[in-house]
Amino acid sequence: DQQVKQNSPSLSVQEGRISILNCDYTNSMFDYFLWYKKYPAEGPTFLISISSIKDKNEDGRFTVFLNKSAKHLSLHIVPSQPGDSAVYFCAALYGGSQGNLIFGKGTKLSVKP
């Protein structure tokens, strides 16, 4: 049973526009959420995170929004650039865990010039 779900396997966006990647979770014990970015043949790299006590975290072009009541988070990339083309993974962990991340299946973002 998947605890972290990314229902869109792919997303295509025009350069300069906004990319919105969505993630849903089922475990209300999760208290920290992260987005990782992965290029082919490389390991995932950390992008941005958010604690469950917040509803928004912003870092440059990247903003993560958390809606706890809906158990939903989203990653906004504005403006999108061709170099943002990658697979984006949503991940979560809960307090008291040893830090092992629970990942979604990923969304492949393609930003077209």
Partner 1 sequence: GAGVSQSPSNKVTEKGKDVELRCDPISGHTALYWYRQRLGQGLEFLIYFQGNSAPDKSGLPSDRFSAERTGESVSTLTIQRTQQEDSAVYLCASSLEPPGQYNEQFFGPGTRLTVL
Shortest separation between residue 46's beta carbon and partner 1, angstroms: 5
For the chain, the 3-state helix, strand and coil shares in percent, each to the nearest 5, are: 5, 55, 40
Shortest separation between residue 97's beta carbon and partner 1, angstroms: 7
27 binds partner 1 (CB under 8 A): no
97 binds partner 1 (CB under 8 A): yes
Shortest separation between residue 88's beta carbon and partner 1, angstroms: 11
Cα–Cα distance, 25 to 5 (Å, whole number): 6
- Per-residue binding letters, 53-92, with partner 1 (x by CB under 8 A): ------------------------------------x-x-
Q: Which two tokens stand for residue 76?
A: 């906004």
3 in Cβ contact with 102 (< 8 Å): yes
Cα–Cα distance, 6 to 35 (Å, whole number): 12
Identify the CA nearest to 18 among candidates 58, 53, 61, 59.
61
Footprint of partner 1 (CB under 8 A): 4, 6, 32, 34, 36, 41-46, 49, 89, 91, 93, 96-106
